[in-house]
Structure 1
Amino acid sequence: MKKKIFNYLFIFVALLLVFQFVNSKRILDSYEGIIDKKEANFEKSITKYQDTISKLRDDVLRLSEFSVMNTEAALSYIEAEGYRVDELIPFVKDALYELNLVKGEEHPLIPYAALNGGKMMIDQIRILNHKWIIANFTDGKYWGEMFLTYSISEDKQLSFKVVESFLYPIN
């Protein structure tokens, strides 16, 4: 009788182990399938993000072409004149922005009067090289752009001259 109980117990344990093995194998295979899908999605995402990063790098390079900081000839000219680039560029920008604070209804450089009762003010500035600047201006509703030249006299006085400007029409 003891022998039969041990035989049944042995068969039961063997069946239980086989069931556990098959079930575990099926679970592992399904996890591997999920992991493979996640890896494939991850690879697609990596490729997509690498393409986006590459495009953004190209955009940055393209946009930095017309910048004083990326024009070696302009940097050399500024340094040859005895100025430090990291001090001159903020000095020029600050001087333009300070013109926004001039009292009165008209801006000293912007050749257009504000059309909505405010004051035209310089909004953004891009220094192209050692002589040229592009600036945006706005009164809050209307806006335009202008092309300026700048020079520094021997007595360290900064002067601006508007070469061309335009005001965008409202559609």
Structure 2
Amino acid sequence: MSEITYVRGDATVPSVKGVKVIAHVCNDIGGWGKGFVLALSRRWPQPEAAYRAWHRDRARNDFALGAVQLVRVEPYVWVANMIGQRGTRRGSKGVPVRYEAIDTALTTLAGEVAGLGASVHMPRIGCGLAGGRWSRVAPLIDERLVKRGIAVTVYDHGDGAG
């Protein structure tokens, strides 16, 4: 049985061969401007543009908690925008992360990734600005991706900030 591979580095530059999907968690209110999305936007304009259009046209599409949008950014690289947090602020209802939405998104992602024959690369999704705990997210990744034979690499930023 394989397991999640942890490395130091930048999840936007996976150094493996083959098709790669870079997965990350987005909010459900159309906000894009803090956290890991900034690293994505520095490399490619497409994920942000696609996310904003997806949100703008949400009355006519599946934009909601648990949804996944795959955006091709290079011939062998895709970005998975996964809606896994409610809003962006901590408040009376707690942190923005929604574990059940991440679980749903990972289930959808598994099917897409298997169809592409891809590996998955990500930061510690849902655990930065979304306020989640890795001890809750890692088992979801293990269950939905790793147990299906999908290679998953989690990147911790080299500067210790991740």
Q: Which protein is bigger by CA-based radius of gyration?
A: 1
Between structures 1 and 2, the one with greater helix share: 1
- Same fold by TM-score greater than 0.5: no
More contact order relative to length (CA 8 Å, sep ≥ 6): 2
TM-score range, shorter chain: under 0.3
Q: TM-score, normalised by structure 1?
A: 0.24
